[in-house]
Amino acid sequence: MSFISGNIGLYDERLTVVLGFVTLAAALATFVSCRTCLSFLGRFGLKINMDAGWYRSFYRLHGYYWWVFVMGLILHFLTAVMHTAIPKAGDPDAPIHWAILGFALGAAVTTGAVLFSCRSTAGLWNTFTGKTPVNNKKFFSFYRYHSYYWLVLALAVAGHFAASYIHIGVWP
């Protein structure tokens, strides 16, 4: 029992890191299965046929990748809060914890923008309401910036990852 109580801070930090990598993997799977990724790759001359069997199989799971991504994000957030709590003045790690949490908040808000501008969410909306929001002007005005939300999310995640790396490296 003394092992658990003596190292709970390190355990929380390691669990947070593992869940962060799981969340990052799910975010990458979500992005790669997104039509935005195909458009992005096309700008660099790499053409992937969306009708290719392997990509259709991968793309078909896009909505499930979202679920794994969001659940991983929630668990990652909860373990991070267990580890850092609210950083207090006088704590030598408080400034870097604030930086990590600040970038994380930016990434979480941007994840919401990406999620709610996704066609998968439109399909989920249609399931519950019987109406597709794709033809709605407000949804379309929000949806048309979907690829830019991904860019902002990538920048927020890069800042979060950089601040985390400065704090603990790859593994605490």
pLDDT per residue as tens digits for the range 138-163: 777 888 899 999 999 999 999 999 99
In the numeric block, the tokens 């704090």 are attached to 167
pLDDT per residue as tens digits for the range 97-117: 999 999 999 999 999 999 988
- Give the separation between CA 32 and CA 145, rounded to whole angstroms: 17
What's the rounded mean pLDDT across residues 72-82?
A: 91
- Give the separation between CA 47 and CA 165, rounded to whole angstroms: 34
What's the rounded mean pLDDT across residues 122-138?
A: 77
* pLDDT higher than threshold 70 for residue 4: no
pLDDT of residue 40: 84
* Structure confidence at residue 9 as a pLDDT band (50, 70, 90): low
Give the residue, 146 or 132, on which the prediction is more confident: 146
In the numeric block, the tokens 């439109």 are attached to 122
Domain boundaries, the chain: 2-85+92-168
pLDDT of residue 19: 94
* pLDDT higher than threshold 80 for residue 91: yes
Query: Coil, strand, or helix at residue 119?
Result: helix
What's the rounded mean pLDDT across residues 71-100?
A: 88
- Give the separation between CA 130 and CA 139, rounded to whole angstroms: 16
Q: pTM score, two decimals? A: 0.82
pLDDT of residue 123: 74
- Give the separation between CA 115 and CA 143, rounded to whole angstroms: 10
What's the rounded mean pLDDT across residues 75-80?
A: 91
pLDDT of residue 127: 78
* pLDDT higher than threshold 90 for residue 69: yes
